[in-house]
Amino acid sequence: MAKLASGRVTQKSSELLDKFNSSLLFDKKLYAEDIKGSIAHASMLEAQGILIKSELEDIISGLNKIKNEIENEEFVFDIADEDIHMAIEKRLTQLIGMSGKKLHTARSRNDQVALDFRLYVQKNTLKIKHLLLELEAVLLKIAKEHTNTLLPGMTHLQHAQPINFAYHILAYMSMFKRDIQRLESSYERNDFSPIGCAALAGTVYEIDRDFTAKALGFKEPTVNCLDTVSDRDFALDILYNISVIMMHISRLSEELILWSSSEFSFISLSDSYSTSSSIMPQKKNPDVPELLRGKSGRSYGNLISLLTVLKGLPLAYNKDMQEDKEGVFDSVDTALISIEILKEALNTMSVNKENMQKACEIGHLSATDLADYLVKKCGMAFRDAYKITGAIVVEAEKMGIDLSQMPFDIIKALAPCVKEDILKYLDLKNSMNARLSKGATSIKSTNEQINYFQKWLQEYITK
């Protein structure tokens, strides 16, 4: 196959090489970014007097025609063209002749691919952020409905202290808020235009990199061209950001799986987001959260893979870097569908308040309140109070009841200083509501957190 760029290499390449070397089958995903970048570059060339007006007009109409061809599936992709940049340039030259051959003046595929890929990453950083904001809105809605829904707070997956379900949901809102902030800071850090850096050393033409940066919506051009054509930190940023998002999604998914089991029965996923077993007709399986938990694996893999590709590369561009794209495409697609389906699964699940409440009555969740009572009201040292509380819990175990249901006289027999008001302190809802410190679980503190997130989300809507 005759190559568009057959300079030093004049012999036709082997089919095996084309197959091995080509990135076209995956980087065709960047066609819109490539065309957008080329239009900005050509416009700059014309503004600088390097192209004449009619040449620019030919280029723009040719590129728009190619865009239509690709979107209407009329474009012929030939792996011998190597990549999307060459494929589009070849077609442009077929369509408009000489002007097409001038498009590549003052640029190289090295800055071209750095631009296209960065545009893709920046666009999807915003897309993921918007989906996370929608997820946050669903979480906030659930939180508002459940400030009074008691839930056993756990450590080591053992019942620990009573909390409310809203408070638990707000923990996830906090995680996804940090994810949104991470995406925003990455967007800002990478808001620099690579185009005009050419192969590695800049160019002899009098180009205007501020022009292209502005035309493409970047804050400004990058500072050092040698770094620019070697840099894939922006790709690592999105891979890391997605890995953390997927880790958070995976932790929430794990809870959804546990909570929907018969042992917990705290929630039930809607039928439209559950699947059945092929053999056991009674089963309803939580495939959605299981897949979400499982998909974190590939996003971590993609991050490690690109870090490994980059770690030994000398400056500047090396073909190894062609291995940067598939993992990022995969992670982006994974994140987009994962956030979307998690949002839907949460939005349609039902919460079984009664079972959450019942579960709080197992495990003596107000034991800390008893110890705190002995410290505050009886003047005991915490360690002594801890010991006596332990003895009372053992008694409750023997009687087969929860501490919150313990008769006053039995508590008094073991801790003579207590007054009848101890029963109020042992009540589970009172225990939850006694935690009034900032960021704590009481309904009052939970409502403060809800207001905080509500205000934060509101700012995006009004932005």
Residues in contact with ligand ARG, shown as a per-residue x/- string from 180 to 199 under the rule CB under 6 A = --------------------
Residue 85 annotated as catalytic: no
What is the per-residue DSSP string for 387-405?
HHHHHHHHHHHHHT--GGG
The piece of 62-70, 107-115, 268-276, 378-386 that touches ligand ARG (CB under 6 A) is 107-115
For residues 395 and 407, the answer to whether their CB atoms sit within 8 Å is no
- The alpha carbons of the chain give a radius of gyration, in whole angstroms, of 31
Please, what is the minimum distance in Å from the beta carbon of residue 284 to ligand ARG?
Answer: 45
Please, what is the minimum distance in Å from the beta carbon of residue 318 to ligand ARG?
Answer: 9
For residues 177 and 368, the answer to whether their CB atoms sit within 8 Å is no
The smaller minimum CB distance to ligand ARG, of residues 84 and 173, is found at 84
Q: Which of 41, 193, 277, 364 is catalytic?
A: 277
The smaller minimum CB distance to ligand ARG, of residues 190 and 442, is found at 190
Query: Token match 């050509």: residue?
Result: 42
For residues 426 and 369, the answer to whether their CB atoms sit within 8 Å is yes
**Sites for ligand ARG among residues 313-332 (CB under 6 A):** 317, 319, 321-322
Q: Compute φ and ψ for 62, nearest 5 degrees.
A: -65, -45
Give the integer Cα–Cα distance in Å for 136 and 118: 27
18 interacts with ligand ARG by CB under 6 A: no
The smaller minimum CB distance to ligand ARG, of residues 150 and 195, is found at 195
Q: Which of 18, 27, 179, 237 binds ligand ARG (CB under 6 A)?
A: 27
369 interacts with ligand ARG by CB under 6 A: no
Give the integer Cα–Cα distance in Å for 225 and 369: 63
The smaller minimum CB distance to ligand ARG, of residues 322 and 338, is found at 322
110 interacts with ligand ARG by CB under 6 A: yes
Q: Which of 104, 146, 156, 248 is catalytic?
A: 156
The piece of 108-116, 277-285, 355-363, 389-397 that touches ligand ARG (CB under 6 A) is 108-116
Sign of dihedral through CA atoms 453, 456, 460, 461?
Answer: positive
The piece of 91-99, 105-113, 339-347, 392-400 that touches ligand ARG (CB under 6 A) is 105-113
**Sites for ligand ARG among residues 147-166 (CB under 6 A):** none
The smaller minimum CB distance to ligand ARG, of residues 322 and 404, is found at 322
Binding-site size, ligand ARG (CB under 6 A): 10
Please, what is the minimum distance in Å from the beta carbon of residue 27 to ligand ARG?
Answer: 6
172 interacts with ligand ARG by CB under 6 A: no
Q: How far is CA 323 from CA 112, 122, 154, 225, in A?
A: 16, 19, 43, 21
Q: Is 48 exposed, middle or buried (0-12, 13-18, 19+ CB in 10 A)?
A: middle
338 interacts with ligand ARG by CB under 6 A: no
Please, what is the minimum distance in Å from the beta carbon of residue 109 to ligand ARG?
Answer: 4
> Three-state DSSP class for 449?
helix
* Bridge partners of residue 310, in order along the sequence: none
The smaller minimum CB distance to ligand ARG, of residues 250 and 322, is found at 322
H-run or E-run covering 161: strand 158-164
H-run or E-run covering 151: strand 150-155
For residues 340 and 130, the answer to whether their CB atoms sit within 8 Å is no
120 interacts with ligand ARG by CB under 6 A: no
Give the integer Cα–Cα distance in Å for 11 and 453: 63
Within 291-376, strands assigned E span 350-351
Q: Residue 415: how many CB atoms within 10 A of its CB?
A: 19
The smaller minimum CB distance to ligand ARG, of residues 313 and 337, is found at 313
Q: Residue 131: how many CB atoms within 10 A of its CB?
A: 19
Q: Which of 29, 36, 91, 109 binds ligand ARG (CB under 6 A)?
A: 109
**Sites for ligand ARG among residues 72-101 (CB under 6 A):** 83
Q: Which of 113, 169, 342, 365 binds ligand ARG (CB under 6 A)?
A: 113
For residues 212 and 196, the answer to whether their CB atoms sit within 8 Å is yes
> Three-state DSSP class for 155?
strand
248 interacts with ligand ARG by CB under 6 A: no
Round to the nearest angstrom and report the end-to-end CA distance of the chain.
52
The smaller minimum CB distance to ligand ARG, of residues 107 and 343, is found at 107
Residue 23 annotated as catalytic: no
**Sites for ligand ARG among residues 261-280 (CB under 6 A):** none
For residues 327 and 297, the answer to whether their CB atoms sit within 8 Å is no
Give the integer Cα–Cα distance in Å for 408 and 44: 84
Please, what is the minimum distance in Å from the beta carbon of residue 76 to ligand ARG?
Answer: 18
The smaller minimum CB distance to ligand ARG, of residues 321 and 385, is found at 321
Residues marked active site are found at: 156, 277
Instruction: Give contact residues for ligand ARG (rule: CB under 6 A).
Output: 23, 27, 83, 109-110, 113, 317, 319, 321-322
